[in-house]
Structure 1
Amino acid sequence: MKKRTYAMAFFFGVIIALLAIFIKLPYYVTMPGSAQDLKPLVHVEHGDDDAGTFMLTTVRMGRANAISYLLAHARPFYELYPLEEIKQEGETDEEYTMRQLQLMEQSKEAAIAVAYKKAGKPVSYKTKGVYVMSVLPHMPAEGQLKVGDRIVAINGKKMTTSDQMVKYIRAKKKGDKIHVTFVRGKKQREATLALMPFPHEPKQIGIGISLATDYDIVTNPPVRVDSEQIGGPSAGLMFSLEIYNQLVKEDITKGHKIAGTGTINMEGEVGPIGGISQKIVAADREGAEIFFAPNEHGAADSNYREAVKTAKKIGTKMKIVPVDTFDDAIRYLKQMQ
């Protein structure tokens, strides 16, 4: 009888453990990720091999199960986010991943352009079309367009930037039909869609997509950035610094281990990111001496201010440096000992 009782208890224990692991809750859990040396990811032809290190910082994220949900309430720097705060309305896991990878591509393009301009090296870029970044449910594009599609023309008119496309559509009226030419994979496709108001912005009309401009960048010397499967735009600043360091003769790191985070645009402006506290923890674990954090022009709730609080909390000696632009980072590095 006891053996049967033990067997039943063991069986139910296994079932409960499996349920705790495999049943997904309506949350994402995030935690400190890694601080990774950028040298193996950035390859400028005949670029300098510098003594110091620029590091990309990441946040680990995944769907919460019962175990990770409990850990998030017990462990420091673990955070829970409802699904709707991470994924856009109606967005699938595949579309979310595609959007994050496309944001990384945009980030790399801007980083390359900024670094080459600052280094005085030849760089040119032209627009190739407009990428679909998300598709809203219950809007005309649903079922017709997908995340990752590249729109090349509307009504036969070539579309080269997202701003151009938005301006073109805003000049039209509710119910007007537009003929969209787009590329999916290597195949060109077409769809005719009627414009309608956005559910949460009835004064604005459209087909229910968010957009990003696709750039083709040509540089001399050539550069390759291997971002692997890293998603999101937050590595832009650090990519630009690593590229610049390989382009110039001097080692702007001066032998130091430098981490950081922040988006970057074609004008070299640095923008805020999520998970700054977790990235501070990751950088400290890898022995970073300096951390560049988006300053957000001195905002009270800026990434920089949060980074400073976290640095004090964990007792790190890492120097937290506020930056609003790529040039801010370069100025700091030049005066650094």
Structure 2
Amino acid sequence: MSRRALTLLVAGFLVLALGVAGAFLPVPYVVLSPGPTENTIGEVEKKPVITISGHQTYPTKGALRLVTVAYQGGPSSRIDLLTALRGWVDPTVAVVPEETIFPKSRSPKEVEEENTVEMTNSQDFATAAALTELKIPFGMVVTVASTEKGKPADGKLRKGDEISTVDGKPAANVKIISDAVKAHKPGESVAFTVIRGKDKTDISLPTVAGPSGQAVVGVVMQESYKFPFKVDINVGDVGGPSAGLMFSLGILDKLTPGEITGGKDIAGTGTIQASGEVGPIGGIAQKMVGARKSGATVFLTPADNCAEAMKAVPDGLRLVKAETLHAAVSALDALRTGKGDVPACAAG
């Protein structure tokens, strides 16, 4: 073999070796793919997704599926270039920069914890929205989320304490309590009445000057709902807020006679507020693919996701626009009875 041919052969081998090695180098991207679906009026691991106690419930039929997006990659388990390339040519998945899912300002653990909190809040909002739609009254309470170390509330107030009054006045929301504390001069005391378990306790706390000079006691508060009966939601490892609409519909279906699905396999997505407003979500294309693979024929779509959804809707899946919980219920009624308008997504 000539020296020239040998040189070309070695160079070709090196290029091939470098190409193969490069294909397995980790890259800062995440692959998003269709995830599993769960029927909110069905079961997960032989346990009902939604369990209601303390109120009459009714049999359900069909499916109301929440949809998910699975991801591969992340700071602690980066994908290789070959995996990313496969994703770029697969129309059912998306390849996005790592910071889209894992912002550099937060650790993967913090992202996971945030998703868990968002899921918990979503379940509360879903219950509140369903009860609002059914005109079932419920209350709101302010509870202690945490206290600041070294501040007056530290060791006096506990996580989970329900603050019922401040300076003798009802503590209807966080702002009322915060304003009542700030109305004092640093050094003055604030009177709280808290409910801890089954006990009601009066606690007086001195105030100190906060960073702005206003009086503080060092308590972090959160508002939560107080429902007239218990609603438990079991979805395993699913996180984030995007299942809110489907939780609300599942709760509604169980609390009302008849089946709002009409026996159909319905899927959908969207965040939910206590008022019933449906908000946009991410990963709509992958969620639609997952819905269709699971057998759904109708997909409830947040209004703000409609234009994007129209560009990637799978064959056999009907997109129904859902701006509010009430609109979604009305659309399902129209689909079931054949009477009334079914709002459709339109291309943007």
The TM-score normalised by the length of structure 1 is 0.66
Q: Distance in 2 between matches of 1:170 and 1:87?
A: 37
Query: 1:307 Cα shift?
Result: 1.5
Query: 1:168 Cα shift?
Result: 10
Query: Given residue 261 of structure 2, which amino acid in structure 1 is its aligned partner?
Result: T
CA gap of 1:28–1:212, structure 2 versus 1, over 3 A, is: farther
Q: Distance in 1 between matches of 2:95 and 2:209?
A: 38
| Equivalence for 2:46 | none
Are the equivalent residues in 1 in contact too, given 2:34–2:69 (CA < 8 A)? Answer: yes
Compute the RMSD of aligned alpha carbons: 3.7
Which deviates more, 225-234 or 256-265?
Answer: 225-234
Instruction: Identify the match of residue 132 of structure 2 among 95, 99, 117.
Output: 117
Q: Does the residue aligned with 1:44 lie in a helix, a strand or coil?
A: strand
Query: Given residue 317 of structure 2, which amino acid in structure 1 is its aligned partner?
Result: M
| Equivalence for 1:47 | 57
Q: Are residue 219 (structure 1) and residue 228 (structure 2) matched?
A: yes
Q: Are residue 108 (structure 1) and residue 110 (structure 2) matched?
A: no
| Equivalence for 2:319 | 320
Query: 1:266 Cα shift?
Result: 1.2
Q: Are residue 335 (structure 1) and residue 334 (structure 2) matched?
A: yes
Instruction: Identify the match of residue 61 of structure 1 among 71, 79, 93.
Output: 71
**Could you give the per-residue CA deviations for residues 253-305 of structure 1, whole angstroms, max 9, x where no partner exists?**
1111110000001111000000001111111111112111010xxxxxx3112
| Equivalence for 2:257 | 249
| Equivalence for 1:309 | 311
| Equivalence for 2:98 | 83
Q: Distance in 2 between matches of 1:270 and 1:279?
A: 16
Q: Does the residue aligned with 1:94 lie in a helix, a strand or coil?
A: helix
Which of these two proteins has the greater Rg computed from alpha carbons?
A: 2
Q: Does the residue aligned with 1:56 lie in a helix, a strand or coil?
A: strand
Q: Does the residue aligned with 1:110 lie in a helix, a strand or coil?
A: helix
**Could you give the per-residue CA deviations for residues 238-260 of structure 1, whole angstroms, max 9, x where no partner exists?**
00000000000121111111100
Q: Distance in 2 between matches of 1:285 and 1:318?
A: 10
CA gap of 1:332–1:244, structure 2 versus 1, over 3 A, is: same
State the aligned residue count: 259
Q: Does the residue aligned with 1:307 lie in a helix, a strand or coil?
A: helix
Q: Are residue 229 (structure 1) and residue 243 (structure 2) matched?
A: no
The TM-score normalised by the length of structure 2 is 0.64
Q: Are residue 293 (structure 1) and residue 295 (structure 2) matched?
A: no
> Where in structure 1 are there 5+ consecutive unaligned residues?
1-12, 133-148, 172-191, 197-210, 296-301
Give the share of equivalent positions with the same residue, in percent: 28
Q: Does the residue aligned with 2:141 lie in a helix, a strand or coil?
A: strand
Are the equivalent residues in 2 in contact too, given 1:43–1:224 (CA < 8 A)? Answer: yes
**Could you give the per-residue CA deviations for residues 101-150 of structure 1, whole angstroms, max 9, x where no partner exists?**
10111110000011122224353332324589xxxxxxxxxxxxxxxx97
CA gap of 1:217–1:84, structure 2 versus 1, over 3 A, is: same
> Where in structure 2 are there 5+ consecutive unaligned residues?
1-16, 44-48, 148-157, 184-207, 213-219, 337-348
Are the equivalent residues in 2 in contact too, given 1:109–1:217 (CA < 8 A)? Answer: no
Are the equivalent residues in 2 in contact too, given 1:130–1:162 (CA < 8 A)? Answer: no
Query: 1:318 Cα shift?
Result: 1.8
Query: 1:310 Cα shift?
Result: 1.3
Instruction: Identify the match of residue 31 of structure 1 among 30, 33, 38.
Output: 33
**Could you give the per-residue CA deviations for residues 182-205 of structure 1, whole angstroms, max 9, x where no partner exists?**
xxxxxxxxxx99859xxxxxxxxx
